[in-house]
Amino acid sequence: MERESDAFDALDLQLLAALELAGRAPFSRIAAVLGVSDQTVARRYRGLTAEAGLRVVAVRDAERLGQDQWMLRLRCTPDSSGAIAEALAKRPDTGWIGLASGGTEVACMSRPRSRGDQDDLLLGKLPRTPSIVEIRAQQLLHRFYGGPTGWIGKFSALTDDQIAALRPEVPAASGPARIAPEDEPLVAALERDGRATYPELQRATGRSESAVKRSLAALLASGAVYIDIEYHSEILGYSLAALLWITTSPGALHSVGEALATHDEIAYASATAGPSNIVATAVVRDTGALYAYLSGRLGHLEGVQHVETTPFMRRVKQLTYRMPG
């Protein structure tokens, strides 16, 4: 994948790729791998934070935790969609919220942490909101791409040797993926700042530094959480994102999903239950590039029967935080 942007250079892209791969790595380690000084990495990091909304955050992996995930499509009256999106963005169990369909639709990923939370949202709050005209909820069944595997990796900004040098050493998991009640303060602190130091995490949790280190290592090893980055794709020259609701023949579901995972344009793809059986997020430079992808590589993919495209007008929330309006 080629990058077309004058906003930043190849080193900035390498830094994004390094943080996507090893978000908690010390700047000194990243600098050594990239062949620059610690001060340069720190300065570039501050610049990307200010200009591209860069944040390093911990994300709960609902699929590994065995928790339900839903893609919600809420058709709203035009004057209410913004307020509904903002209200959803305040919830800790939502992510990837965007305004679409000319401002009449809110698209949202919901990750309820309990059956009670799920029922409260899907059967309680949303149906009682008078400005919501229609609710479509599709359960996510199987992730083909996304989660711990980030989109920046498709730019091939790092060499194989650099990737090997940066890849964090995670001990083998000693049990199933789970977040114990005593780990909740630790995960919450990392959701706010994935690069929080161990002394900072110690203060946030009230636990010893050694206990924090052991708990974090166990959480990462089991896959219960992973460290990811949030940023504005516009800084790379990719200003348009769209949800693709794809219908395939049943026998082609897995092969189409696996193929989508290899496409440069796809940042996320999952099998779903509902009217369509795959939902994917495409990130492209502009409407022309979106048309080229829909009519070209995606349109020619064997097994694809129908595609509904929902471009985002504005993204309201990414992984864990609300984006500025």
pLDDT on residue 61 = 94
pLDDT on residue 167 = 92
Out of 5-9, 220-224, 307-311, pick the least confident: 5-9
Residue 224 neighbours by CB under 8 Å, 6+ apart: 60, 61, 64, 65, 177, 178, 179
Bridge partners, 229 (sequence order): 56
pLDDT at 201 > cutoff 80:
yes
Residue 126 neighbours by CB under 8 Å, 6+ apart: 72, 74, 132, 135
pLDDT at 249 > cutoff 90:
yes
Q: What is the mean pLDDT of residues 39-63?
A: 95
In the chain, pLDDT over 90 holds for what percent of residues? 78
Q: What is the mean pLDDT of residues 190-218?
A: 96
pLDDT at 145 > cutoff 90:
yes
Q: What integer best gives the mean pLDDT of the chain?
A: 91
Architecture (CATH level 2) of domain 144-154+233-317: 2-Layer Sandwich (3.30)
For the stretch 304-317, pLDDT in tens is 999 999 999 888 88
Cβ proximity of 226 and 116 under 8 Å: no
In the chain, pLDDT over 70 holds for what percent of residues? 94
Quickly state the pLDDT bin for 320 (edges 50, 70, 90): low
- The pTM (predicted TM-score) of the whole model is 0.91
pLDDT at 106 > cutoff 60:
yes
Cβ proximity of 97 and 85 under 8 Å: yes
For the stretch 273-283, pLDDT in tens is 999 999 999 99
Cβ proximity of 228 and 152 under 8 Å: no
pLDDT on residue 317 = 87
Quickly state the pLDDT bin for 3 (edges 50, 70, 90): very low
pLDDT at 172 > cutoff 90:
no
Give the alpha-carbon dihedral of 155, 4, 293, 96, to 10 degrees. 70
Q: What is the mean pLDDT of residues 243-251?
A: 96
Quickly state the pLDDT bin for 5 (edges 50, 70, 90): very low
Delimit the domains of the chain by residue range: 144-154+233-317
Quickly state the pLDDT bin for 4 (edges 50, 70, 90): very low
**Residue 94, CA atoms < 13 Å, CB-side half-sphere:** 23
Q: What is the mean pLDDT of residues 225-239?
A: 94
Quickly state the pLDDT bin for 123 (edges 50, 70, 90): low
Amino acid sitting at position 10: A
Structure tokens at 89: 């963005």
pLDDT on residue 321 = 56
Q: What is the mean pLDDT of residues 96-114?
A: 86
Q: What is the mean pLDDT of residues 144-169?
A: 95
